[in-house]
Structure 1
Amino acid sequence: MDLVEAVALAAVSTLTFIACWTDLRKMEIPNVLTVPFALAGLVYHGATQGWDGLGSSVSGLLCGMAPLLVLYLLRGIGGGDVKWFAAYGAWTGVAQALALAVWSILFAGGIAALLLLMRAPGLRKIGKAVAWPWGRHPLEAAKGAAKFPFMLAVVPAFAVLAWGQFA
């Protein structure tokens, strides 16, 4: 791993940690976090790699944002998640941004499957014992209305990709 990649990894690790913290606490990823990180990614890659680096960073920003924008328009995630993925893409580029989107959606599907399992007759008692700080409890919410912070899916996806880089 070269210095440019190491700085990018440090930046997205910091971005991920802070975003996860705020999303778990408030179900929100603020613009004051995502916008400066996105701009810093553009500036950093432009300064260290010239026009090619800036172009790659802009492409990563757009490709990080695009798939999540679709989920946002379908009301599956919040706007902060979209901006977080744009910032992530500005630092990592197209391939990593798209890979993280795919892995995050897969992990979110796994979480959704667990929420559905909690509704099963034999598991309802256990499911009701699980504290749920993000709105109505999945067993009390109307069908399909249970919510969870998307960063619960992003963090393990991020870990899988980071592990793949170092393994």
Structure 2
Amino acid sequence: MTGFEMITISAAAALTLIACWTDIRRMEIPNGLTVPAAVSGLVCHGLMQGWEGLGRSAAGAAFGMAPLLILFLLRGIGGGDVKWFAAYGAWMGSVRALELAVWSILFAGGIALLLILLRAPGLRKGFGAIAWPWGKHPLEAGKGGAKFPFMLAVGPAFAALMWGGFG
């Protein structure tokens, strides 16, 4: 692994940890994190790799943002998640941004399935006693469903991709 790859992975890991922390605590990923992260990714790639690196970083931001923008428009995630993926893509590039988006959506589906299973009669009573910090409790949520921070899915997806060495 080159020194530049270590820089990009370290930046992406820090971005992920900070976003997980803020999203889990407040259901928010602030612009004060995403905007400087995206700009610094663009600048770093531009300085280290010239116009070609800047172009790849910009493409990474666009490809990171695109699939999440669709989920945002469907009201499945918040705007901070979209901006976070743009910043992640600016650091990690198109392929890794899309890869993380796919894995994060799969992890989010797993969390949603778990929440549905916990509504089963045998599990309902025990699960109902657990406090839910992100709005309506999943057992009380009606048509809109229960909400959870998307970073609950992104964090483990990022860890799995790091552990697997990315596809």
* Matched residue, 1:112: 112
What's the RMSD between the two structures over aligned residues?
Answer: 1.3
Structure 1 residue 144 displacement after superposition: 3.9
| Equivalent AA in structure 1 for residue 17 of structure 2 | F
CA distance, structure 1, for counterparts of residue 129 and residue 162 of structure 2: 33
TM-score using structure 1 length:
0.97
* Matched residue, 1:127: 127
| Equivalent AA in structure 1 for residue 87 of structure 2 | A
| Equivalent AA in structure 1 for residue 156 of structure 2 | P
* Matched residue, 1:20: 20
CA distance, structure 1, for counterparts of residue 164 and residue 13 of structure 2: 15
CA distance, structure 2, for counterparts of residue 30 and residue 144 of structure 1: 24
CA distance, structure 1, for counterparts of residue 38 and residue 76 of structure 2: 22
Structure 2: give runs of 5+ residues left out of the alignment: none
CA distance, structure 2, for counterparts of residue 144 and residue 115 of structure 1: 13
TM-score using structure 2 length:
0.97
What is the aligned-residue identity percentage?
70
CA distance, structure 1, for counterparts of residue 23 and residue 160 of structure 2: 20
CA distance, structure 2, for counterparts of residue 86 and residue 26 of structure 1: 20
Q: Which moved more, 1:82-91 or 1:115-124?
A: 115-124
| Equivalent AA in structure 2 for residue 145 of structure 1 | G
CA distance, structure 1, for counterparts of residue 35 and residue 125 of structure 2: 43
CA distance, structure 2, for counterparts of residue 126 and residue 49 of structure 1: 54
Q: Give CA deviations for 1:60-97 in whole Å, capped at 9, x if unaligned.
A: 00000000000000000000000000000000001100
